[in-house]
Amino acid sequence: MAAAYPTLRLETPAQHVLMVTMSRPDAMNAMNTQMMTDLRDCFASFYVDPDIARCIVLTGAGDRAFCAGADLKERNGMTDAAWRRQHAIVEQAIRAMMDCPVPVIAAVNGAAFAGGCELALSCDFLYASENARFAQTEVALGIIPGAMGTQNLPRAIGVRRAKEAILTATPFSAAEAHAWGLVNRLFPTVAEMRVAALATAARIAANAPVAVRQAKASIGKATDLDRANGYAYEIEAYNRTVGTEDRLEGIRAFNEKRKPDFKGR
């Protein structure tokens, strides 16, 4: 991936796997305007060209924070107009993440507060280290979650728990997040968590890319549509895989007792 993003570090630790690291460790990886712009542009690029990677891992630099939310030092003294302009970039970034056709795993390595929690929630699923903490703290600052928090958190942990978390602005632990279904897997250390996230990403990346993208899109409709219309969408997504070379390769590889070599077409 050729683009350079001042606040993001992009690495390819395995074939077809991209690790995107939010890199403002001195600010607990808080999102300033530049990071919001970088996240928007980075994730929008996958919508334009999904072949850049077959799976993405999103994490934060260091062991203390995934992302502490918006940079409140930068926001101090902002005019209403400047605030709204900046927030429009966040809205675009979250939409780009939610629309990303490539699977995204959040590797939560510490605090994921406010907008940081919303970034994690916008990923397909989450791994976390035991030191991770989550919170939607916006009402304590005079605003409300504005990056899909009121939509994604209830879907992840249930409406009643989400109301308690958002309305009290009280942080909750990685263990609670795991017990409530927000976090898929929990690990003792950040290092172990990142290794596991990358291993899972590599496993996803080894599968047929078109099929993975269609499956992700179809699963995304499960909570948006009734079951009959969801199934209709699933069949449309299924039919998009039937004419691919990868479908033929998968059958050949199975019968020849070898690992398939998927090309993404």
| Residues near 12 by beta carbon (within 8 Å), at least 6 away in sequence | 1, 18, 19, 53
Separation between Cα atoms, residue 161 and residue 136, nearest integer Å: 12
Contact 210, 264 (CB under 8 A): yes
Separation between Cα atoms, residue 10 and residue 127, nearest integer Å: 19
Catalytic residue among 130, 138, 176, 236: 138
Catalytic residue among 74, 91, 118, 176: 118
62 φ/ψ angles, rounded to the nearest 5 degrees = 80, -170
CB burial class (10 A; 0-12, 13-18, 19+) of residue 221?
middle
Contact 109, 62 (CB under 8 A): yes
Number of alpha helices (DSSP H) and beta strands (DSSP E) in the chain: 11, 10
Is residue 118 part of the annotated active site? The answer reads yes
CB burial class (10 A; 0-12, 13-18, 19+) of residue 41?
middle
Question: Which residue's structure tokens are 């998927």?
Answer: 262
Separation between Cα atoms, residue 69 and residue 164, nearest integer Å: 19
Contact 101, 50 (CB under 8 A): yes
Q: Give the catalytic positions in this structure.
A: 118, 138
